C-alpha cells in the first residue's frame, strides 16, 4: 500500500491511498490522517481510487481518522471510492458518515 | 455438475497473514468458472473478514494450516475455510452491525461478512474448523433481495476430501523416488492389456502425481485434467472407452495419447481413496469384464504394497524409539550412538542405561537384515536389559544367552554383541565380546588398541562359558564400537576401525564422530551401520 500526501493551497490535505487497506495497512492510514490533522485544520480528503480492497480494519482506520478530524473541527471525506469500497461502506451503513465525492474540489466546495 | 478449486496455506500471526489470504484468493479465482465481479468481490471481502477473525481467535499465536475450498455450482458459490486452529471461538451468531453514528472503530467484521453472503456455517470435525460461506450467484439472485438461508451442499464432500488428503500425506509416499515394486506392476499392466501406458496415480490437492509410469505420460497433471480424479469418487472400476466422445470427460483426454481409460481406485489403510491404478491408450477400445477383474487384482497388489510400506515406516519409528534417547549423566564422560538400518528396520541396535556408579553399554548385530532381524534385535535388547540387573557382566550375558538360545535356534539366527559396564570413577570397562570383535580403544597419545573377541556369537554354541575382560579408559581416551556395516563404508577391512579411532581422537565430542559416520553412510550403506562412541574427557 502507498500513501501520498498533497497539501492544497486552501488548506485541504489530500491523501492518495492505493493498494489494500486492511489489517496490515490500517495503522499507517490512521497515522497519516492524524498527521494531516496535526499539521492543518483537519480537513482531509482521502482519494480511494487506487484502493483495490477495503476490509473492516481499514474501515476502522478511516472512522478513527474521522473522529480525530472532527475533534479538530475538520472532517474526513472520501474521493472516488472503488466498487468494492462502496460495497463495504454500503453494507456497514458508514456511507452516510464517511461521504464520497467525485473529486477533492467537490468534497470541499466552499473552501 | 460443479467445479471445485482448493488451495492450502499456512497462516501464522496476524496481520501479515491477511495478505497471504489475499494472494491466495487472487490466485484462485481465475480457476473458478463464470464468477461475476460482484460475487467475487463479495466473497473476497467475506473470506478476508472470516480469515482475519479465525487467525485472531483460533490460533493463540501458533501457526495453523488453513485450506480454502471454493466450489462453483450453477446457482451458487460455496467457499469453505478449513483450519487447524483450536476450538472455534468466532461468534458468528448475534453480531449486528454497530450504528453508523456511534463511530465505533471495530466490531463490524463478522456483521459485514454475514451481510455479504447468504449463509455462514461452522462445523468442528476431527480437530478442524470448517467455516462455510454460501452465496447465491448474481445471475439467479433477485435484485436487492436480502440474504436468505441457503444451507451448503458441498460441506460433507469437503470434510471427506480433507480426511482423504490427510490419509494420503500420512502414508509419506508423495514425491518419493521410483520403486521397482510399483514399477513392476505398471510394466505388467501395460503388457497384459496391450495399452500405451499404465500409471499408479495419487490425487494430491490440486494435482495428480504419478508414483509409477510404464509407457508415456507426465508425472504431474492438474487434478481437473486427470481422469483418476474422477475414478476416486467411487469404489468401482471406471472405464471410458472413448474419452473424447464423452462431453463431461473430453477435456481430460489427450488426442492420440489418452483416448481410452480404465482405472481402479487405491485405498489408504483407513479406506480413503487416495489414487488409482490406471491403463490408457491413444485410441478408443473395449475393456471386457475379465480385463476389469485383472485390473482390480493388480490394484489390490499395489494397495498391499502401499499398506506394507506404511506399516514398515511405522515399524521403523518404533525401532528408532527403542534406542536410548537421553544422555546418561556421567561427569567427564561423553557417550553418543547412531544406528542407520539399510532398510526401514534392521537387526542392529545399541543401548545404554545407568548401572551402579556407571553405565551398561551394548552394541549388537543380528545376522541378516530387515524385519526378521529387527524382531530378534528387540528381543535381545529386552532380555539383556533385564539380565543386566543380576550379577556381573558375564553373568548377564550368560543369563541372556540361556533365555535366547531356544529362539535363536528356532529362527536359525545368531547375534554378535559387545556388552559391557563402565565404572565412571576408575574408567574400567568390563565387557563380554560375543563374536563381535569390532571395538577399539583410541589412546590419548594416538595408539589404537583393538579389543579381542574371546567367545562365539549368541546362538552358536549352547555350552559357551562367557568370560569378561576389562580395559581402563584414561582421560583423553575414546572407545569406539561398531557393527560390520561400518567396514563397508571404508575399505571393508578392520583398518576402518583404526580410521574411526583416529577420527574420534581428533573430534571434540562423541556426537561429532557419529554425525560423520551418519553423513558417510546416508544412502550408500548396503548393511545396517551402528556405532557407539564413549570418550573420557581430559
CA distances to A108, B322, B451 from B439, rounded to whole Å, are 91, 22, 5
Sheet holding B529-536, edge to edge: B333-340, B529-536, B478-482, B439-442, B448-451
Q: Is the Cβ pair A55, B15 closer than 8 Å?
A: no
CA-based nearest distance A3→chain B, Å: 18
Cβ–Cβ below 8 Å for A24 and B15: yes
Q: What is the pLDDT of residues B321-352, one digit of tens each?
A: 888 876 677 889 999 999 988 777 888 999 99
- Would you call A60 and B101 a contact, using CB atoms and an 8 Å cutoff? no
Tell me whether residues B41 and A94 touch, CB distance under 8 A. no
Task: With a threshold of 0.95, tell me whether the complex ipTM lies above it.
Answer: no
The pLDDT value recorded for residue B52 is 84
Round the average pLDDT of chain B to a whole number and report it. 88
The 10 Å Cβ neighbour count of residue B464 is 18
Instruction: Please name which of B421, B433, B438 lies closest in space to residue B458, comparing C-alpha atoms.
Output: B433
Q: CA nearest A52 in B: which residue? A: B41
Q: Name the 3-class secondary structure at B530.
A: strand
pLDDT tens digits for range B262-289? 999 999 988 899 999 999 999 999 999 9
Question: pLDDT band for position B47 (50/70/90)?
Answer: very high
Q: What is the pLDDT of residues A42-90, one digit of tens each?
A: 889 999 999 999 999 999 999 999 999 999 889 999 999 999 999 999 9
- pLDDT tens for A93-109 read 999 999 999 999 999 98
Instruction: Write out the three cell numbers for B476.
Output: 583423553
CB-CB contact of B365 with B437 (8 Å):
no
C-alpha of A90 from chain center: 16
pLDDT band at A111; cut points 50, 70, 90: low
Domain A2-107, architecture per CATH: 2-Layer Sandwich (3.30)
Residues of each domain in chain B carrying CATH 3.30.450.40:
171-317
Residues B155, B132: contact at Cβ < 8 Å? yes
Do B37 and A83 count as a contact with CB atoms less than 8 A apart?
A: yes
Q: Where does CATH 3.30.565.10 sit in chain B?
A: 3-169
CA distance B533 to B526: 22
pLDDT at B217 over 90: yes
- The span from the CA of B479 to the CA of B255, in Å, is 67
- Residue carrying the nine cell digits 550408500: B524
CB atoms B52 and A57 under 8 Å? yes
Task: Say yes or no: domain B3-169 is CATH 3.50.50.60.
Answer: no
Where in chain B is CATH 3.60.40.10?
A: 324-536
Question: Does residue B85 have a pLDDT over 80?
Answer: no
Nearest in space to B189 (alpha carbons), one of B306, B281, B309, B251: B281
B475: helix, coil or strand?
coil
Contact B503, B513 (CB under 8 A): yes
All cell numbers assigned to B347: 537387526
Distance, in Å, from the CA atom of B228 to the CA atom of B144, rounded to the nearest integer, reads 43
Alpha-carbon distance values, A75 to A7, A107, B98, B407, B462 (Å): 15, 10, 21, 90, 99
Q: Rounded to a whole number, what is the distance in Å from the CA of B69 to chain A's nearest CA?
A: 21
Nearest chain A residue to B116 by CA distance is A91
On whether the B324-536 domain is CATH 3.40.50.720, my answer is no
List, in sequence order, the alpha helices (H) in A25-82: 26-39, 56-71
In tens, the pLDDT along A15-24 reads 999 999 998 8
Render B210-227 in DSSP notation, one character per residue: EEEEEES--SEEEGGG-S
Given a cut of 80, is residue B12 above it in pLDDT?
no
CB atoms within 10 A of CB B348: 27
Give dist(CA B20, CA B22) in Å, integer: 5
Sort residue B145 into left (φ over 0), alpha (ψ -120 to 50) or beta.
beta
Q: List chain A domain ranges.
A: 2-107
Residue B261: predicted pLDDT: 98
pLDDT at B186: 96
Residue B82's pLDDT band (boundaries 50, 70, 90)?
confident
Q: Between A and B, how many residue pairs show a Cβ–Cβ distance under 8 A?
A: 78
Q: Which of A55, A83, A96 sits opposite B49 (nearest CB)?
A: A55
Question: Minimal CA–CA distance to B125: which of B62, B168, B67?
Answer: B67
Cell triple for residue B92? 458468528
| Minimum distance, in Å, between the CA of residue A7 and any CA atom of chain B | 26
Q: What pLDDT is stored for residue B94 in this prediction?
A: 67
Q: Are B485 and B529 in contact (CB under 8 A)?
A: yes
DSSP label at residue B229: H
φ and ψ at residue B386, rounded to 5 degrees: -75, -35
B61, pLDDT greater than 70: no
CA distance B527 to B518: 13
User: Is B19 within 8 Å of A66 when comparing Cβ atoms?
Assistant: no
Q: Which candidate from B37, B48, B108 shows the least CB-CB separation from A59?
A: B108
Handedness of CA B257, B258, B261, B267 (dihedral sign): positive
**CB–CB contact A23 B15 (8 Å):** yes
- CA nearest to A64 within chain B: B105
CB contact A53 to B (< 8 Å): yes
pLDDT of B34 > 90? The answer is no
Of the pLDDT bands very low, low, confident and very high (cuts 50, 70, 90), residue B418 is: very high
Question: Alpha-carbon torsion B480, B483, B487, B489, what sign?
Answer: negative
Instruction: Identify which has the larger pLDDT, B98 or B211.
Output: B211
Q: A21 to chain B, minimum CA–CA distance in Å?
A: 10
Q: Name the minimum distance, in Å, from the CA of B48 to any CA of chain A.
A: 7
More confident call, B155 vs B296: B296
Strands (E) in chain A, as ranges, are: 2-7, 13-21, 43-54, 75-79, 100-101
- Tell which CATH architecture fits domain B171-317: 2-Layer Sandwich (3.30)
pLDDT band at B464 (very low <50, low <70, confident <90, very high): confident
Cβ burial, residue B485 (10 Å; 0-12/13-18/19+): buried
Amino acid at each position: 500500500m502507498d500513501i501520498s500526501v498533497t497539501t492544497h493551497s486552501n488548506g485541504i490535505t489530500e491523501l492518495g491511498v492505493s493498494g489494500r487497506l486492511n489489517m496490515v495497512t490500517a495503522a499507517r492510514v490512521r497515522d497519516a490522517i492524524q498527521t494531516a490533522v496535526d499539521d492543518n485544520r483537519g480537513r482531509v480528503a482521502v482519494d480511494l481510487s487506487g484502493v483495490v480492497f477495503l476490509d473492516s480494519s481499514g474501515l476502522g482506520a478511516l472512522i478513527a481518522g474521522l473522529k480525530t478530524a472532527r475533534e479538530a473541527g475538520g472532517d474526513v471525506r472520501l474521493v472516488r471510492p472503488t466498487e468494492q469500497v462502496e460495497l463495504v461502506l454500503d453494507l456497514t451503513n458508514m456511507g452516510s458518515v464517511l461521504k464520497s465525492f467525485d473529486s477533492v474540489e467537490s468534497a470541499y466546495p466552499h473552501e | 455438475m460443479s467445479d471445485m478449486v482448493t488451495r492450502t496455506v499456512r497462516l501464522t500471526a496476524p496481520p501479515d497473514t491477511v495478505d497471504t489470504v489475499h494472494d491466495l484468493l487472487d490466485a484462485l479465482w481465475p480457476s473458478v468458472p463464470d464468477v461475476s465481479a460482484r460475487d467475487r468481490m463479495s466473497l473476497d471481502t467475506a473470506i478476508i473478514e472470516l480469515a482475519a477473525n479465525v487467525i485472531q481467535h483460533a490460533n493463540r499465536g501458533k501457526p495453523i494450516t488453513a485450506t480454502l475450498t471454493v466450489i462453483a455450482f450453477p446457482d451458487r458459490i460455496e467457499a469453505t475455510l478449513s483450519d487447524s486452529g483450536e476450538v472455534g471461538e468466532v461468534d458468528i451468531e448475534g453480531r449486528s452491525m454497530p450504528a453508523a453514528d456511534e463511530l465505533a472503530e471495530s466490531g463490524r467484521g463478522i456483521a459485514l461478512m454475514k451481510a455479504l453472503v447468504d449463509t455462514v456455517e461452522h462445523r468442528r470435525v476431527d480437530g478442524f474448523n470448517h467455516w462455510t460461506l454460501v452465496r447465491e450467484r448474481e445471475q439467479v439472485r433477485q435484485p436487492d433481495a436480502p440474504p436468505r438461508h441457503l444451507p451448503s451442499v458441498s460441506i460433507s464432500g469437503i470434510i471427506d476430501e480433507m480426511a482423504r488428503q490427510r490419509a494420503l500425506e500420512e502414508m509419506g509416499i508423495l514425491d518419493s523416488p521410483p520403486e521397482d515394486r510399483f514399477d513392476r506392476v505398471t510394466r505388467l499392466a501395460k503388457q497384459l492389456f496391450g495399452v500405451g501406458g499404465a500409471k499408479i496415480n495419487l490425487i494430491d490437492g490440486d494435482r495428480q502425481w504419478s508414483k509409477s509410469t510404464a509407457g508415456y505420460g507426465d508425472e504431474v497433471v492438474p487434478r481437473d485434467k486427470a481422469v483418476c480424479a474422477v475414478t476416486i469418487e467411487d469404489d468401482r472400476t471406471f472405464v471410458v472407452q472413448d474419452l473424447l466422445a464423452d462431453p463431461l470427460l473430453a477435456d481430460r483426454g489427450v488426442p492420440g495419447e489418452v483416448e481410452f481409460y480404465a482405472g481402479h481406485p487405491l485405498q489408504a489403510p483407513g479406506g480413503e481413496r487416495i489414487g488409482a491404478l490406471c491403463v490408457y491408450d491413444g485410441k478408443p477400445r473395449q475393456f471386457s469384464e475379465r480385463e476389469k477383474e485383472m485390473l482390480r487384482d493388480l490394484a489390490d497388489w499395489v494397495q498391499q504394497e502401499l499398506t506394507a510400506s506404511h506399516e514398515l515406516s511405522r515399524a521403523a519409528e518404533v525401532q528408532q524409539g527403542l534406542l536410548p534417547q537421553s544422555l546418561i549423566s556421567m561427569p567427564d564422560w561423553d557417550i553418543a550412538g547412531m544406528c542407520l538400518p539399510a532398510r526401514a528396520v534392521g537387526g542392529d541396535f545399541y543401548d545404554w542405561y545407568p548401572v551402579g556408579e556407571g553405565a551398561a553399554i551394548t552394541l549388537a548385530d543380528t545376522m541378516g537384515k530387515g524385519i526378521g532381524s529387527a524382531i530378534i534385535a528387540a528381543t535381545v535388547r529386552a532380555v539383556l536389559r533385564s539380565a543386566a540387573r543380576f550379577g556381573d557382566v558375564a553373568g548377564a550375558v550368560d543369563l541372556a544367552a540361556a533365555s535366547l538360545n531356544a529362539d535363536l535356534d528356532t529362527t536359525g539366527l545368531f547375534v554378535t554383541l559387545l556388552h559391557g559396564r563402565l565404572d565412571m570413577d576408575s574408567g574400567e570397562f568390563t565387557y563380554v565380546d560375543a563374536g563381535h570383535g569390532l571395538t577399539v580403544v583410541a589412546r590419548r597419545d594416538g595408539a589404537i588398541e583393538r579389543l579381542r573377541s574371546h567367545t562365539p556369537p549368541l546362538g552358536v554354541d549352547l555350552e559357551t562359558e562367557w568370560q569378561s575382560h576389562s580395559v581402563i579408559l584414561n582421560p583423553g581416551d575414546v572407545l569406539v564400537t561398531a557393527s560390520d556395516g561400518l567396514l563397508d563404508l571404508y575399505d571393508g577391512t578392520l583398518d576402518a576401525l583404526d580410521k574411526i579411532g583416529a577420527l574420534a581422537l581428533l573430534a571434540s565430542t562423541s556426537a561429532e564422530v557419529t554425525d560423520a559416520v551418519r553423513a558417510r553412510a546416508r544412502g550408500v550403506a548396503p548393511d545396517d551401520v551402528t556405532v557407539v562412541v564413549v570418550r573420557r574427557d581430559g
